[in-house]
Amino acid sequence: MHPNRSAYVKSPWLFEVRDNPVSDPGPGQILLEIAACGVCGTDLHTADRMATDWQLFGHEMAGIVAAAGEGVTRFKVGDRIALNTAAPCGRCEICSPPPYGRGRPSQCRTVTTYWDGPHMGFGDFIVSPHECAVAVPDSLALDAASLAEPIGVSIDLVETGEVAPGDRVLIVGPGPLGLGAITAARHADASHVALAGLSKSAARMQSGVALGADELIEVDKTSLTKRYSQESRKPDKILVTAPPSVLPECIEIAPFGGVIAYIGIAWGPGAMLTFDADKFHFQRLSLKASFASPDTQTAKSIRLLESAPELARELISHRFKLEDIGEAMTMARDDGERTIKKLVMVR
């Protein structure tokens, strides 16, 4: 066993850092010394009301391989890696390529994961299946590499939305996923990118400009319906990183043949929506959910973070130590999205 500390959370907004020794990695596993772990919106929801008892948390991490178990040939001690939360098994009918299977690893239901194990990302070490690991080049700082998981979600959203060269794209929600989607859409050769959000999120909106947004729409001052009511060319693709309640308005402004992709969770009654299905049909619209689990985008994330260093520079606004996890989480809660974009634990 190796000495280790882990952060625990219990709702509402209680945090502890405890001794939680970690074992040597077993066959097919690696022991990761965690260098950085980002705070996800899911962590905030967990702290607010989902953790009915003390539990581990944190899943956006990067670090250095401290030990490799039997049979691990992809990585060795000292390698720099990032972890995704769940990897396709690579063996089931869904994963296996034709003619042996369906060749759809992103739809695998027998995933390999470290989730619900004895350690998570807010800690010193974690044991993980080696399949969840992706190599990080020396040119990319490990705190930046911890963004690989959320940027993978942004990439999945852009791909789900079928963003293509020349598309006009509207991104709704200036959080880390929306900001990541700006860069991913630009790399897909979108011709125009608009970012919609609340005026209180000024720091995030300005980061959107730095990352390539051509236009900012403050929806508490100008609704999307009003903004696009007289527009001759509406957004071809609408990418939503906001609660599902915004979807009916997105459907309303979408052009003929438009595609709406979204990642957003209501966490309650707001999950039930009503919209005009006849108009949706005759406008030949598409509404598609992005859900990047299992994660098949992490390698792309690393390449994007390496080629676009401004992404980590704009996203990471605050860094904190493991022992300050409670202060960092409550700061994120109380900020109200005004100045904080992404918090990352660094060691």
CATH 3.40.50.720 intervals, the chain? 162-289
Alpha-carbon torsion angle 250, 252, 255, 258, nearest 10: 40
Instruction: Say if residues 258 and 228 touch (Cβ distance below 8 Å).
Output: no
> What is the CA angle 139-187-231, rounded to 5?
145
Tens-place pLDDT, residues 30-71: 999 999 999 999 999 999 999 999 999 999 999 999 999 999
CATH 3.90.180.10 intervals, the chain? 5-149+293-346
Label residue 269 by pLDDT band (50, 70, 90): confident
Instruction: Answer whether residue 233 shows pLDDT above 80.
Output: yes
Give the pLDDT of residue 230.
Answer: 82
Q: Is 162 helix (H, G, I), strand (E, B) or coil?
A: coil
* Mean pLDDT score, 66-92: 96
Task: Kindly report which listed range (9-23, 279-293, 323-337) carries the lowest average pLDDT score.
Answer: 323-337
Instruction: Answer whether residue 168 shows pLDDT above 80.
Output: yes
Label residue 192 by pLDDT band (50, 70, 90): very high
Given CATH 3.40.50.800, say whether it is the number of domain 162-289.
no
Instruction: Answer whether residue 336 shows pLDDT above 80.
Output: no
Q: How many CA atoms lie within 13 A of 13 on its CB side?
A: 9
* Mean pLDDT score, 101-124: 94
In single-letter form, the type of residue at position 47 comes to: A
* Mean pLDDT score, 235-258: 96
In words, the CATH class of domain 5-149+293-346 is alpha beta
